[in-house]
Amino acid sequence: MSRAHRAGFTLLELVLAMTALAMMTAICYAAFHLAIRAIERGEVAVVTAQRLRVASDVLIRQIKSTVPYAARNKDLDVYPYFLGTATSMAFVTAGGLHGGGGLVRVVYQVVDNPPRLIMTETSFFSPDTLGRDAVDTSGERPTVLLDNFQSLHFLYYRNEGEDFGESSWVSGWDGYEEEMMPSAVRITVDGLPGLELGQWNQEIPIMATNYGDNMGEVDEESLAERPEDE
């Protein structure tokens, strides 16, 4: 009498099947994980692009509308008000955002912990207060214009009668020392999430210095045109 044939799998077959199943599971999980990360990166890129669009619109509007406002210091010297460092700017613009717009002094500052670009505006200033008092924003409510980046710095273009060149960009500007306004401002932001290169650059011309022969200079006649207290 022959022994009945028993159908089944050997241990080797079971091991091979389980190995194949594990490999397929790992491949599917990796593909799913990559897809999720791609979607997340896409969402981050969209959010970053929206934030940059808002920030750049404000910066372009206010920097382009910079006014060569006549300031007067304690020695009665008259000069165009514009102060700039690598991480801050203070100037008078005709593109105010609060209170329906108008002429305002605006201050941009990069503050740390975490890094943020904040902006403050005030419509209460005069030639004497601008020229004699240090920039003070303690009484103004700041607006966070941009955050979630690693570093941000400004450069200022000194017009020397030539095309835009790297040698003409400086990291600081003092209207009193320069006796005129910069012709443009360059903004560089590093470490923004979602950007392919991780860096964003924007060069914004100051329109008041790009028409005619006036390079944003002021004199006593310019001061006489301003009300004593605005």
Residues β-bridged to residue 180: none
Digit-coded pLDDT (tens) for 46-74: 667 788 889 999 999 999 999 999 999 99
On whether the CB atoms of residues 145 and 117 are closer than 8 A, the answer is yes
- The verdict on residue 97 lying in a domain is yes
- The verdict on residue 16 lying in a domain is no
Q: Cite the beta strand spans of the chain per DSSP E.
A: 70-72, 78-80, 82-84, 88-93, 104-111, 116-122, 143-147, 151-157, 169-170, 173-174, 184-190, 199-205
Digit-coded pLDDT (tens) for 69-99: 999 999 989 999 999 999 999 999 999 887 6
- The verdict on residue 23 lying in a domain is no
The predicted model scores a pTM of 0.75
Q: Shortest CA distance to 103 belongs to which of 126, 137, 129?
A: 126
- The verdict on residue 123 lying in a domain is yes
Q: Shortest CA distance to 125 belongs to which of 104, 143, 94?
A: 104
Range of the domain at 104: 44-224
- The verdict on residue 14 lying in a domain is no
- The verdict on residue 13 lying in a domain is no
- Tokens 């005129």 locate to 180
In the predicted model, residues of the chain with pLDDT beneath 70 are 1-9, 32-33, 35-47, 99-101, 161-167, 195-196, 209-216, 218-230
- The verdict on residue 107 lying in a domain is yes
Measured at the CA of 61, the angle between CA 57 and CA 66, to 5 degrees, comes to: 150
Please state, in angstroms and rounded to a whole number, the distance separating the CA atoms of residues 114 and 119: 16
Q: Report the percentage of the chain scoring pLDDT > 90.
A: 42
Torsion angle, CA of 145/198/47/44, rounded to 10 degrees?
Answer: -140
pLDDT of residue 230: 45
Please state, in angstroms and rounded to a whole number, the distance separating the CA atoms of residues 184 and 47: 28
pLDDT of residue 228: 47
- The verdict on residue 173 lying in a domain is yes
Please state, in angstroms and rounded to a whole number, the distance separating the CA atoms of residues 60 and 196: 23
Helix (H, G, I), strand (E, B) or coil at 117: strand
Q: Name the burial class of residue 205, with classes exposed (0-12), middle (13-18) and buried (19+) by CB atoms within 10 angstroms of its CB.
A: middle
Measured at the CA of 30, the angle between CA 28 and CA 32, to 5 degrees, comes to: 70
Tokens representing residue 104 in the block: 């305002």
What's the total number of domains in the chain?
1
pLDDT of residue 114: 86
Please state, in angstroms and rounded to a whole number, the distance separating the CA atoms of residues 59 and 52: 10
Residues β-bridged to residue 146: 117
